[in-house]
Amino acid sequence: MALDRKVPNDLDAFWMPFTANRQFKKNPRMFVAARDMHYTTADGRQVLDGTAGLWCCNAGHCRPRITEAIQKQAAELDYAPAFQMGHPVAFELANRIIDIAPKGIEHVFYTNSGSESVETALKIAIAYHRARGEGTRTRLIGRERGYHGVNFGGISVGGIVNNRKFFGSLLTGVDHLPHTHLAENAFSKGQPEHGATLADDLERIVALHGAETIAAVIVEPMAGSTGVLLPPKGYLERLRAITKKHGILLIFDEVITGFGRLGSAFAAQHFDVLPDMMTTAKGLTNGVIPMGAVLTTAAVHDAFMQGPEHLIELFHGYTYSGNPIAAACGIATLETYKEEGLFDRARELEGYWQDALHSLKGARHVIDIRNMGLIGAVELEGIPGEPTKRAFTAFLKAYEKGILIRTTGDIIAMSPPLIISRAQIDQLIGTLAEVLGSLD
């Protein structure tokens, strides 16, 4: 659906759901080119990308190896059906993903986005228990302030109010753990000290509904889109222990944290906690072509492989699952990460990034700063009666000064490409400091 409306010159929205306009080429909010760490706007300005696009361009923009792989694959095999047939590029990518995944993760199910990865993982979880003769396990547990995409399953287990309230009752049989954002953890550097016992609320939910009704718990190891909420020390370990105790699958939503953002290939490795499934997308193809994947343990995979070969194991899949061009893009992306040592680079830059980010403590209206890997958040005191306005004003001013940041509520979130230099960190944080100093 398209609606002919004027494109605002003042960047008054994060995204526009309707995109028909005759004057779009002249609008300063339009990006017309990108290279490495910068976007080029329609009016010719260079904007430093402080958000890796939308948490996804981990290797920067328009990287030659990725571009060449897409061009070559498009000329060789443009599409192959994912049902009953296959092609070698998808299997090669799956092998490479497993090579860098946590030990114990052994299988890949392709999707086309993070939202589809979440839907797929939730369906696999319910079907897994049914395949094992525990069909009563249909309940799904999410977390307050969690973000798991924009499809019905993801919104249902998600816990961001504005993502939920417009769309009715959503899925039934869903409950939520409390979020981990505690005032006593303000200005933490890395994992906060307080809050591990919040995981124990899962025991309350189990007592309320019965473990025999619960299929899975899904959490982001580090919650990104809600404003960079970090897991307290010991929290994820505790959650893993409780889910194992009650036979509940644990799903890590690694759509943001996957592929180097925390200095490891996946957050599961960073925290040394192995879930039963992991949802991925974004950095899998450097944001260039839509693609996602659900990664599972052998136990989850093998539960479906019990029948005759002529029967369908799981009645689920997508037209574009494992698309050849997307798979070639994924391989080239993983090669770029490896050849340039970008996961190591993120880990090496973490301390410098942390120091730069926390230098903003004491700036006007700043009430908290959080960081981990190459992710950071600056939380602002909201304007009474006008929630989100102060952070959005910062977003506009930052864009005018040549840096791209992201805001959610009154929180400024940053997740630059892993190729960022120390000088560019200085530019990003220094410009943000100027912006914060100018806010009313």
Tell me: the pLDDT tens digits for 236-293?
A: 999 999 999 999 999 999 999 999 999 999 999 999 999 999 999 999 999 999 999 9
Residues 88-101, mean pLDDT to the nearest whole number: 98
Count of beta carbons in the 10 Å neighbourhood of residue 18: 10
pLDDT tens track for 377-422:
999 999 999 999 999 999 999 999 999 999 999 999 999 999 999 9
Tokens of 26: 């002249």
pLDDT tens track for 99-157:
999 999 999 999 999 999 999 999 999 999 999 999 999 999 999 999 999 999 999 99
Q: How far apart are CA 321 and CA 291, in angstroms?
A: 8
Pairing mode of beta strands 105-111, 292-297: antiparallel
pLDDT tens track for 289-335:
999 999 999 999 999 998 888 888 899 999 999 999 999 999 999 99
Pick from 386, 385, 404, 52: nearest CA to 394: 404
pLDDT at residue number 7: 38
Residue 287 makes CB contacts below 8 A (sequence gap 6+) with 52, 53, 54, 56, 57, 58
Straight-line distance from the first to the last Cα atom of the chain, in angstroms, rounded to the nearest whole number: 39
pLDDT at residue number 144: 97
pLDDT tens track for 5-31:
343 333 333 445 555 665 666 677 889
Residues 79-94, mean pLDDT to the nearest whole number: 95
